């Protein structure tokens, strides 16, 4: 409804606030209220921008693997392996059972479970990963930033420990990958190294000679199926963490 034009002296007294205050004061109060609302809106915008900037920088830190652990819980694992290509062999898969325990637990089953979890963890960090079988057709000339074959040791002996090997007389990069796995696997699992039982089969591992010579490669025996069974079957996340952080250590060096 159009407002009637003010005609001082003739119009009846208006109801409400304006009835108690002259029109000039009411206008000033309106202007003040509008100004306060604008300042409030501006402050809210500044706060929202500050929160967004903080979240963005925390996300960046989480992606880069920096900052406290809770960041990774909120934002997911750090994207430390973006654009990296990695080959993981599940030892004996597609070929044979490997070592077998009296109760039927096989090395191949343990290797497969660990390898699959390692592949998932590496992919969550941004890497392109191939899960390979023991005599996979893709091994010939395989190119990648890292190549790791996962095996476990005998169920017949009382020995405990893990070991890592790279090709005898192989590249410096392969030795560095092996060194990273030695270091990080010990840290993640608490398992002791057992270098005395490294065999020619490990140093001369068939896949080392099939893949491209410039692909850094190592083989890890993650523990003995008998003495280290609890780690290999009940604390597999530590086994996986040891291998994943070992590969990360090598690729971020
Ligand atoms: Zn094996």
pLDDT tens figures, 34-90: 999 999 999 999 999 999 999 999 988 888 878 888 888 888 888 889 999 999 999
pTM of the model: 0.78
Q: What percent of the chain has pLDDT over 70?
A: 92
* Range 209-234 average pLDDT: 97
Report residue 15: phi and psi, to 5°. Answer: -80, 165
Half-sphere exposure of 187 (CA within 13 A, CB side): 13
pLDDT value of position 217: 98
* Start-to-end Cα distance in the chain: 76
Find the 214 Cα to ligand 1 centroid distance in Å: 24
Find the 156 Cα to ligand 1 centroid distance in Å: 13
Find the 63 Cα to ligand 1 centroid distance in Å: 35
> d(Cα 205, Cα 3) in Å, to the nearest integer?
94
pLDDT digits (tens, 9 = 90+) for 125-160: 999 999 999 999 999 999 999 999 999 999 999 999
> d(Cα 232, Cα 168) in Å, to the nearest integer?
27
Find the 117 Cα to ligand 1 centroid distance in Å: 18
pLDDT digits (tens, 9 = 90+) for 158-190: 999 999 999 989 999 999 999 999 999 999 999
> d(Cα 39, Cα 47) in Å, to the nearest integer?
12
Q: Is there a contact between 160 and 194 (Cβ–Cβ < 8 Å)?
A: yes
Q: Between residues 156 and 8, which one has the greater pLDDT? A: 156
pLDDT digits (tens, 9 = 90+) for 186-209: 999 999 999 888 888 889 999 999
Q: Is there a contact between 93 and 50 (Cβ–Cβ < 8 Å)?
A: no
Please state the domain extents for the chain: 21-64+67-73, 81-251
Q: Is there a contact between 4 and 11 (Cβ–Cβ < 8 Å)?
A: yes
Find the 222 Cα to ligand 1 centroid distance in Å: 10
pLDDT digits (tens, 9 = 90+) for 85-98: 999 999 999 999 99
Q: Is the dihedral of CA 95, 98, 101, 106 positive or negative?
A: negative
Non-local CB neighbours of 75 within 8 Å, separated by 6+ positions: 58, 59, 62, 63
Find the 194 Cα to ligand 1 centroid distance in Å: 15
How is the beta sheet containing 128-132 ordered, strand by strand? 128-132, 85-90, 146-153, 217-224, 163-165
Tell me if the domain spanning 81-251 has CATH number 2.60.40.420.
no
Find the 70 Cα to ligand 1 centroid distance in Å: 37
């Amino acid at each position: 409804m159009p407002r009637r034009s003010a005609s001082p002296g003739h119009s009846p007294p208006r109801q409400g606030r304006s009835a108690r205050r002259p029109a000039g004061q009411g206008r000033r109060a309106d202007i003040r209220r509008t100004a306060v609302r604008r300042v409030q809106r501006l402050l809210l915008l500044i706060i929202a921008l500050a929160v967004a900037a903080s979240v963005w920088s925390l996300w960046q830190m989480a992606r880069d693997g920096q900052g406290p652990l809770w960041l990774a819980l909120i934002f997911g694992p750090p994207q430390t392996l973006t654009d990296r290509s990695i080959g993981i062999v599940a030892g004996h898969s597609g070929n044979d059972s490997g070592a077998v325990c009296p109760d039927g637990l096989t090395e191949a089953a343990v290797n497969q479970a660990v390898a699959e979890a390692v592949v998932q963890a590496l992919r969550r960090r941004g890497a392109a990963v191939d899960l390979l079988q023991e005599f996979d057709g893709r091994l010939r000339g395989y190119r990648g930033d890292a190549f790791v074959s996962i095996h476990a040791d005998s169920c017949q002996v009382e020995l405990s420990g893990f070991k890592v090997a790279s090709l005898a007389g192989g590249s410096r990069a392969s030795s560095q990958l092996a060194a990273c796995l030695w270091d990080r696997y010990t840290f993640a699992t608490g398992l002791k190294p057992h270098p005395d039982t490294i065999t020619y089969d490990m140093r001369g591992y068939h896949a080392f000679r099939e893949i491209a010579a410039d692909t850094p490669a190592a083989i890890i025996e993650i523990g003995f199926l008998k003495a280290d069974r609890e780690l290999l079957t009940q604390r597999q996340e530590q086994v996986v963490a040891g291998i994943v952080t070992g590969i990360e250590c090598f690729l971020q060096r």
